[in-house]
């Protein structure tokens, strides 16, 4: 494709894409600009206005705006651009398309929106803070712990409006929830709890407590399956010495975020500090922690109850 035709294609993508998003999503130019910036495809308000009015801008502006608009339309509407016809194919959506709303830069669902991670020295979050952190999920929520006893108790021992129903609302929206626990049958679990018990006697009975938690979670799984939610609630067991608690929202997406709590030796896990990271503003550190989760979970087995 010649450079001039590529520029014309990007121009058509921007103009047609905006028209579709305006009609089907009621987006304004300001909304689109924030989404483009969120994708790292920022163009100025004047440039967008000029393109929409038929006043073509420079090739680089058209490229950034066109690539960003393609991503927005494909994710939010499911339409692909037909290069031969120089138009979006609105007769059908792309195969295996799942709606995904590109967050806007100024309204992105990110708590840690500064250059630096947010450090919560007080330890485990109150239940309402945890629910607020999870509420922005569009694809997947992952929680990695050791016993996840508090997590299970949120479903069984708290008012359902505090935690269970908000999680079910995520499942209803098609968000998948994956919970990872330490496999109570593995040698790593025995080594870990025997070592912890040297300074925390209550850890001696931890393996049986994991089994008790699994029995509770089996009821959660059955109830969620009975509801036939679009999103799945799944429990996995891993066989590694635990180092951190992870709470991950949309880790594969640009707006992903993660809360990590390191397990301090001899300290009650509920009192270990929490570090909150947003992928948009802490990309390198986010990647390191997310890779650690991937190594931990890659050989985990799905627990069927």
Give the per-residue pLDDT at 300.
Answer: 97
3-class state of residue 258 by DSSP: strand
Give the per-residue pLDDT at 59.
Answer: 85
**Is residue 174 exposed (0-12), middle (13-18) or buried (19+ Cβ within 10 Å)?**
middle
Report phi then psi at 170, rounded to 5. Answer: -65, -45
Give the per-residue pLDDT at 1.
Answer: 52
Give the per-residue pLDDT at 96.
Answer: 82
Give the per-residue pLDDT at 113.
Answer: 42
Give the per-residue pLDDT at 3.
Answer: 56
Structure-token pair, residue 79: 């339409």
Give the per-residue pLDDT at 112.
Answer: 40
Give the per-residue pLDDT at 281.
Answer: 86
Q: Is the pTM of this model over 0.75?
A: no
How many Cβ atoms are within 10 Å of 9's Cβ, its own excluded?
17
How many angstroms separate the CA atoms of 233 and 69, rounded?
33
Report phi then psi at 174, rounded to 5. Answer: 90, 10
Reference 75, options 138, 16, 118, 168; nearest CA is 138
Give the per-residue pLDDT at 115.
Answer: 55
How many angstroms separate the CA atoms of 294 and 83, rounded?
37
Structure-token pair, residue 75: 């994710």
Do 290 and 278 meet the contact criterion of CB atoms below 8 Å apart?
no
What is the CB-side half-sphere exposure of residue 67 using CA atoms within 13 A? 12
In this structure, are strands 81-82 and 140-144 parallel, antiparallel, or unpaired? unpaired
pLDDT by residue for the chain (305 residues), tens digit each?
555 788 899 999 999 999 999 999 999 998 999 999 888 898 988 889 889 988 766 888 999 999 999 999 999 999 999 999 999 999 988 888 888 888 886 544 444 444 578 999 999 999 999 999 999 899 999 999 999 999 999 999 999 999 999 999 999 989 999 999 999 999 999 999 999 999 999 899 999 999 999 999 999 999 999 999 999 999 999 999 999 999 999 999 888 999 999 999 999 999 999 999 999 889 999 999 999 999 999 999 999 87
How many angstroms separate the CA atoms of 171 and 296, rounded?
24
């Amino acid at each position: 494709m010649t450079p001039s035709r590529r520029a014309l294609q990007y121009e058509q993508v921007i103009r047609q894409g905006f028209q579709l998003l305006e009609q089907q999503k009621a987006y304004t130019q300001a909304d689109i600009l924030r989404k483009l910036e969120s994708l790292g495809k920022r163009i100025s308000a004047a440039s967008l206005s000029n393109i929409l009015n038929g006043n073509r801008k420079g090739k680089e502006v058209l490229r950034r705006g066109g690539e960003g608009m393609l991503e927005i339309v494909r994710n939010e509407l499911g339409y692909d651009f037909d290069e031969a016809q120089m138009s979006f194919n609105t007769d059908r959506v792309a195969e295996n398309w799942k709606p995904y709303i590109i967050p806007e830069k100024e309204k992105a669902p990110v708590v840690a929106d500064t250059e630096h991670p947010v450090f919560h020295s007080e330890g485990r979050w109150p239940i309402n803070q945890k629910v607020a952190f999870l509420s922005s999920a569009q694809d997947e929520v992952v929680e990695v712990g050791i016993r996840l006893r508090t997590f299970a108790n949120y479903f069984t021992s708290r008012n359902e409006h505090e935690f269970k129903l908000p999680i079910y609302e995520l499942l209803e929206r098609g968000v998948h929830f994956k919970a990872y626990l330490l496999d109570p049958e593995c040698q790593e679990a025995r080594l870990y709890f025997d070592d912890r018990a040297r300074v925390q006697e209550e850890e001696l009975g931890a393996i049986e407590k994991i089994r008790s938690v699994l029995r509770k979670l089996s009821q959660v799984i059955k109830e969620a399956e009975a509801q036939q939610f679009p999103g799945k609630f799944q429990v996995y067991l891993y066989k590694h010495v635990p180092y951190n608690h992870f709470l991950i929202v949309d880790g594969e997406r640009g707006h992903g975020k993660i809360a990590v709590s390191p397990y301090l030796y001899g300290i009650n896990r509920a009192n270990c500090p929490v570090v909150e990271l947003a992928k948009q503003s802490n990309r390198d550190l986010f990647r390191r922690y997310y890779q650690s989760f991937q190594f931990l979970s890659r050989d985990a087995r799905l627990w069927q109850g």
